[in-house]
Amino acid sequence: MSSAKQDEATIRNSGNSIWQNRVRRLVIYAAILVVVFLAGLVPMWWKSRTYARERDAAQTSLRISTLQNTLANAAIDARRAEYEPARQAASDFFTSLGTEVARGRDSVFNEAQRNVLRSMFDTRDDTITLLARSDPAAADRLVDLYTKYRQAIASAATPLAHD
């Protein structure tokens, strides 16, 4: 009977050994799967980050250009004596500029630019009033604002730099 017990113990040990081998193999396969997954994920993640940065830079540039174009449209309309479209464009410019400046550190403008651009609001009410009255002096005021805006956005070494 002792040999039967030894055979039974051997079978149990071999069963445990087979089970341990399967678990070990499963762990190795899982580790290989994780490595392969990460090998595919990391380059995609890196590329995604690069594209996100490029998209953010393009959106920043677009916001700056949109503001500039809106103010230029107002100046051109005022020069052509189309005061109502000029008034609407000037109002849109000041609203958008106010929103952008109020964003603080999330703004497309750096601190120095924001300080210069804030001073543009001093003439907002007068400019819009001149446009509402169809006063030709509004065109010169808009051209001055346009020049001031261009100088403000060009004043920083890098327009996309933040504080």
Pairwise pLDDT comparison (41 vs 7), residue with the higher score: 41
- Classify domain 2-154 by CATH number: 1.20.120
Question: Are 74 and 86 spatial neighbours (Cβ–Cβ below 8 Å)?
Answer: yes
- Quick check: 159 pLDDT over 50? no
* Nearest 10 degrees: Cα torsion 46, 52, 57, 59: 170
- Quick check: 101 pLDDT over 80? yes
- Encode pLDDT of 59-82 as tens digits: 999 999 999 999 999 999 999 999
- Quick check: 3 pLDDT over 70? no
Judged by average pLDDT, the poorest of 93-102, 131-140, 154-163 is 154-163
- Quick check: 85 pLDDT over 90? yes
- Quick check: 161 pLDDT over 60? no
- Encode pLDDT of 25-57 as tens digits: 999 999 999 999 988 888 999 999 999 999 999
Query: What percentage of residues in the chain have a pLDDT greater than 90?
Result: 67
| CB crowding 57-68: b at 16 or more within 10 Å, else e | eeebeebbeebe
Inter-axis angle of helices 83-102 and 2-79, to 10 degrees?
A: 140
pLDDT at position 74 is 97
pLDDT tier at 160 (50, 70, 90 boundaries)? very low
Q: Write out the two tokens for 19.
A: 């089970």
- Quick check: 97 pLDDT over 70? yes
